[in-house]
Amino acid sequence: MAVSQLKKYSSADVSAPVINGNAGSLGAALKAILVDGYGVQTPAGWTEPVAAASNIYSFVNGTGSSQKAVVVNDNAPNVTSLGKEAWITGWESVASVTAPVGTGSGQFPTPAQLLTTGHAVIRKSTATGITARTWRCFADAHTCYMFIDTGDFASTYFPFYLGDLFAAAGVSDTYRFFVQGRAAENSTSAGSSLDVTDCFPYTSNLGIDLMLTSNAGIYMPRTSAGTGTSINMYRTGDCDKIIVNSPYNNIVNNRPQSGAIVAPNTDDNAYYLSAVQIMQKTGAGTFTIRGICRGMWFPLHPITAFTDGQVLSGAGLYAGKTFEVVKQGPTAGVWFIETSNTVTYNT
């Protein structure tokens, strides 16, 4: 099984690009991280298929990946939020970076699916202007996870994700690329956050599909077999251990990416994690697991057990792995990002 390492990039790095509430700051930062490098930091291994124009950028993940693309419009595309937010759109192939979301073939999400033009939202800053925002990014040639402390709430990261899943179907899933952002413009609402995880959906004994809506903001270009068009996906995890509540509530409600197990677990003095799974609905009450977010985990323990930036070494089930804690999201979720050379990818 092939492995790689998600390299860490940070606003604390020497010569790090600045992300703020001005047009173009995020796009330039992504170009530095993914394509060009900066200071002593080497690039993650992506390419830029079409040269940036008017603060609109395009990126394709690297050799050995699905090599699908995104267009990032960081030219203050929303007339209300202006430079506080950017837009991100997936494409199977990019032809141009013209406003509002570029052109090409195989758009995901489509205009019919999300926000009129077909884009998810990236929250950059609580205000327009030059105030620099703290950020961290973990990326390799396949996948990129970005976390920005926008200033909307104290010590709170607003994330977005792009790139390949570790696909259940393996390398035959050439459409394993996903885009995940917010589904609302000019909003700090927790309802558009990416630090919540739905519990596994099922059909009740009354025949009622208890997960009625997919997670806004998560899109993939086609099925794993290469059929169809843009698909709105679901995100799930090990929710049986997240909260002590009724089974019904455990299933139908979003839960923050943290849990209820004592930290560390009493019987073995260990911490337990859940992978973040991406699922596709296949029918009434039926789903398939498309894959997992590469190197992304969340703890099944309370958020208070961890500190932002904490580094932990794995043992037992997680032997050989190291993790960096990103704390916290808008709904008090926590991310564990795998920083060792143990992150699986399809090859």
Taking only the tens place, the pLDDT of each residue in 63-104 is: 999 999 999 999 999 999 999 999 999 999 999 999 999 999
Percent of the chain scored above 70 by pLDDT? 88
Q: What integer pLDDT is reported at residue 249 of this predicted model? A: 42
Residue 278 phi, psi (nearest 5): -110, 125
**pLDDT higher than threshold 90 for residue 255:** no
**Which among 285, 291, 317 is positioned nearest to 233, based on CA atoms?**
291
| Cβ-Cβ contacts under 8 Å for 157 (sequence gap 6 or more) | 136, 147, 148, 149, 150, 326, 328, 329
How remote is the C-alpha of 262 from its chain's centroid? 27
Question: CA-to-CA distance for 37 and 132, rounded, in angstroms?
Answer: 19
pTM, full prediction: 0.93
Residue 39 phi, psi (nearest 5): 50, -125
Report the pLDDT averaged over residues 222-243. 84
Question: CA-to-CA distance for 145 and 276, rounded, in angstroms?
Answer: 13
Lowest model confidence (mean pLDDT) among 11-15, 108-112, 190-194, 271-275: 190-194
Residue 289 CA: distances (Å) to CA of 10, 102, 168, 257, 260: 32, 30, 7, 19, 25
For the sheet with 143-149, list strands across it: 7-10, 134-139, 143-149, 157-164, 177-180, 218-220, 231-232
Q: What integer pLDDT is reported at residue 332 of this predicted model? A: 86
Residue 230: CB atoms within 10 Å: 20
**pLDDT higher than threshold 70 for residue 212:** no
Taking only the tens place, the pLDDT of each residue in 140-156 is: 999 999 999 999 999 99
33: three-class secondary structure by DSSP: helix
Q: What integer pLDDT is reported at residue 207 of this predicted model? A: 42
Report the pLDDT averaged over residues 244-268. 67
pLDDT band at 283 (very low <50, low <70, confident <90, very high): confident
Taking only the tens place, the pLDDT of each residue in 285-306 is: 788 999 999 999 999 999 999 9
Question: CA-to-CA distance for 240 and 80, rounded, in angstroms?
Answer: 40
Q: What integer pLDDT is reported at residue 241 of this predicted model? A: 59
Cβ atoms of 6 and 343 within 8 Å: the answer is yes
